[in-house]
Amino acid sequence: MSATDGDSVPLLTAVVVKDAGYVPYTRYVFHDIDQEAKEQVLLYHSERLAIAYGLISTPPRTPLRIIKNLRVCGDCHNAIKIMSRIVGRELIVRDNKRFHHFKDGKCSCGDYW
């Protein structure tokens, strides 16, 4: 993946997910910046970047497994649910508390994490 590819990945996933009904939940951005900048910050959370890279780097329909050492924020949790529905893949995200199995727009945690 080149530097230019890396710059477009978050924006591409944002457009696709917004078209499917995603609304950014900027409550999880604690910087004192304007609303648009907060929405941009959310696009660069590690799990979103990892999923975007996995989607372009692996064969279609294969599950993606992402492991991170911090909790998944609520905004990313909602975005990943939508991503799983759009791409038709199981997206498995392990945060520091639990496994989240996203499939067909739903999470195994029942939105309790």
- Banded model confidence at residue 19, pLDDT cuts 50, 70, 90: confident
- Banded model confidence at residue 77, pLDDT cuts 50, 70, 90: very high
At residue 25, the pLDDT reads: 81
Residue 59 Cα distances to 6, 33, 93, 108, angstroms: 19, 38, 18, 24
- Banded model confidence at residue 111, pLDDT cuts 50, 70, 90: very high
- Banded model confidence at residue 9, pLDDT cuts 50, 70, 90: low
- Banded model confidence at residue 7, pLDDT cuts 50, 70, 90: low
Residue 110 burial (10 A CB sphere; 0-12, 13-18, 19+): exposed
Give the mean model confidence (pLDDT) for residues 33-41: 88
pTM (two decimals): 0.82
